Structures are given as C-alpha cells and as structure tokens.
C-alpha cells in the first residue's frame, strides 16, 4: 500500500502552520499570568513574535516563487529565535515554567527548517 499525500490547499493544511498556531495559543495562555506592568512590554512582545511565526508561514503559502516563499519562511525562522529569547527572559524573570513551550517551539523550528528546505529544493 502506497500512501500519497495531496498538496496543501490552504496554509491551514500545513502541519508546520498547525504546530505554529498551537504554539501561539499556548503563548497566549502562558502570558495571561504575566504581571500587569508587562502588558505593553514582554506580554506584547512574546505574543507578537509567536504570531509572526504562523502569520509568515500563512503569507508565504500563497507566494508564487521559491525565493518569495523562502523569504517569508526565513522571517518565520527569525521569529522562532525571537520567541525563544522571550521564553528565556520570562523564565529568568520568574514568570513561569517554559519547558513545554520550549519543546513546542523546537518542534516548530525543526518543521519550519524542513519545510523551507523542501520548498527551496523543489521544482514547482
């Protein structure tokens, strides 16, 4: 039996986007407990960087050229690293345990790297 996977019709079909979106939801729940004085600081920044990961995957999905797609996926990769730093900062400020979030983010990072590599090496 051969399994064939049909191409994604929307960005929501992409596993990498699904995992990134789940990470965003986790970040929103995690940051709800941050101190009120962080509302326009760390709370805003960590949420923005997490959203940027999924949003750039979505935006890149409809781009027609490999270079354009790759650029948006690379922006997502940058947002992964930004989010990684904000998690470290939140941990070091004593705002919560980041182990689960860090694991989720690492999974997104690996999927994103693989997806970008596949796009850039494809013949579409």
Q: Given a cut of 70, is residue 114 above it in pLDDT?
A: yes
Q: Which two tokens stand for residue 98?
A: 């980041």
Mean pLDDT in the chain? 94
CA-based max dimension of the chain = 57
Quick check: is 63 in a domain? yes
Return the axis-axis angle of helices 15-31 and 99-121, rounded to nearest 10°: 150
* Alpha-helical segments (H) within 1-124: 15-31, 42-61, 66-92, 99-121
- Stretch 79-95: mean pLDDT, rounded? 98
Number of domains in the chain: 1
Q: How confident is the model at residue 1 (pLDDT cuts 50, 70, 90)?
A: very low
- Stretch 48-70: mean pLDDT, rounded? 95
Quick check: is 57 in a domain? yes
- Rounded CA separation 98/88 (Å): 8
pTM: 0.92
Check which CATH number belongs to the domain holding 55 and give it: 1.20.1440.60
Quick check: is 1 in a domain? no
Quick check: is 82 in a domain? yes
- Domain ranges, residue 48: 34-121
């Amino acid at each position: 039996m051969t399994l064939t996977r049909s191409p994604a019709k929307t960005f929501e079909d992409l596993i990498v986007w699904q995992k990134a979106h789940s990470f965003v939801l986790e970040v929103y729940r995690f940051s709800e407990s941050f101190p009120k004085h962080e509302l326009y600081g760390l709370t805003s920044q960590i949420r923005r960087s997490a959203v940027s990961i999924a949003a750039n995957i979505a935006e890149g999905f409809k781009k027609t050229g490999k270079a354009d797609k790759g650029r948006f996926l690379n922006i997502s990769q940058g947002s992964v690293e930004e989010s990684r730093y904000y998690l470290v900062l939140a941990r070091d400020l004593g705002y919560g345990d980041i182990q689960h979030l860090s694991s989720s983010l690492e999974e997104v990072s690996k999927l994103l790297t693989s997806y970008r590599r596949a796009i850039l090496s494809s013949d579409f």
